Amino acid sequence: MNRDDIARRVVITGLGSISPLGLSAPETWEGMIQGRSGVARITLFDPSDYKTQIAAEVKGFDPKDFMDGKLARRIDRFTQFAIAASREAVADAGLDLSKEDIYRVGVLLGSGVGGIGTLLKQQGILERRGPRRVSPFLITAMTPDAASGQVAIDLGVRGPNFAVVSACATGSGVLGEASEILRRGDADVMVAGGSEACILPITIAGFDIIGGISSRNDEPEKASRPFDLDRDGFILGEGAAILVLETLDHAMKRGARIYAEFIGYGVSADAYHMIAPEPEGKGAVASMKMALRKAGIRPEDVDYINAHGTSTPLNDKSETAAIKEVFGNHAYRLMVSSTKSVTGHMLGATGATEALACAMALYEGIVPPTMNYETPDPDCDLDYVPNKARKVPIRIALSNSFGLGGHDATIILRRWEGD
């Protein structure tokens, strides 16, 4: 292997997570493989008047446990999540930033809706108390790039820094773009992922009115049931997942532990509808094919797919069709699971959370299950790893993320074998 090959390869060396399953990456991963649901009745506001009264909230999060109280008061909840998860990821990577060229360490974070909670709160203050009482921190707290900027300030790094916004495909798109920055030599390290804090009356009402979310209020832990015949919508979630990506050259020089190698990234558009996926999954097919091509692997090399798997009737059917189109007969030998069955759909954070799941599945040789899979759907007839984690060594994992607006993103990771 020559030096140029090493420089172009990208690896994952650190993981951080704030999720409905716990306040760290190990807690999140453990919850996934245990099949422990993070879904419960909403406590962030009184949901009694809403059709949907359940969500996957982050529980027990006190920002002052992770940062200075003064900073916590000036930023939105989604940025609080991002800072907490970023600090964990950097520590987990064993990255001493005082020894790094801070112009070669970048931050790339994404969010589907940004600081919408702060915006709505300040709108209320404006209406009740007038314009002079609006917070001077409103603008810097509400924008989707707020987390990326604040994390860079918090870490003190000055490399490439911006935000990606592509609805539910954001997290995977962020990681893909971060990998491209590293491959083209613009940074040595990227702190990358997604964050979201959108469990609010307006978002629940908005998703309710378009029939997107489940109203299985009497059984919250069973409401998210990807690929099951009785699925009736997704569960809104919140949280953050941050990964440290490095060039292999940089990681090897500092003797870093490597969770997995990042080998492929594909993006496309359905160009079909703002809400519904293209029925045959044409955009998803294009995204997966691009990722496979860039990874330089064959479809039959893939062992596991962490599906977008939202638990909506249309998504799960079209994603299954797309997997069959790309993988042919191998689709029936693949393991496919949706960790949204326990985390809910974390919008801009979900792709990064599922990348964390893939990295850990490769690292530990355990495939997380699809929970609540009880009644098979004839249109969804693959191996969805139902209801119990599967201990099996895998070499290559693919993760799909598909967003409102027809955004499609696919990433591919490979088990690190010290090569």
Distances (CA, A) of 346 to 77, 90, 252, 371, 387: 14, 22, 33, 17, 21
Beta strands 304-306 and 396-403, pairing class: parallel
Say whether 273 is catalytic. Answer: no
For residue 302, give the nearest of 385, 414, 369, 397 by alpha carbon. 397
Class of domain 3-253: alpha beta
**Residue 375 CB neighbour total at 10 angstroms:** 11
Residues 122-133: tens digit of each pLDDT:
999 999 999 999
Percent of the chain with pLDDT over 90: 97
List the catalytic residue out of 168, 198, 358, 380. Answer: 168
Residues 4-62: tens digit of each pLDDT:
566 689 999 999 999 999 999 999 999 999 999 999 999 999 999 999 999 999 999 99
Say whether 330 is catalytic. Answer: no
The rounded distance, in Å, linking the Cα atoms of 56 and 181 is 33
Q: Give ranges for CATH 3.40.47.10 in the chain.
A: 3-253, 265-415
> What is the token pair recorded at 229?
């015949």
The rounded distance, in Å, linking the Cα atoms of 199 and 267 is 27
Torsion angle in degrees (nearest 10) through CA of 349, 354, 356, 357: 150
Residue pair 256/246 in contact (Cβ under 8 Å)? The answer is yes
pTM greater than the 0.85 cutoff: yes
Q: Which helix (H) or strand (E) holds 280?
A: none
Exposure string over 2-13, b if 16+ CB within 10 A, otherwise e: eeeeebebbbbb
Question: In CATH terms, is domain 265-415 a member of 1.50.10.10?
Answer: no
pLDDT of residue 53: 98
List the catalytic residue out of 308, 358, 380, 407. Answer: 308
Percent of the chain with pLDDT over 70: 98
Secondary structure of residue 77 in the 3-state scheme: helix
Question: Residue 329 burial (CB < 10 Å; 0-12/13-18/19+)?
Answer: exposed
List the catalytic residue out of 198, 250, 345, 407. Answer: 345
Quote the Cα angle for 157-359-99, to 5°. Answer: 25
Say whether 345 is catalytic. Answer: yes
pLDDT of residue 8: 87
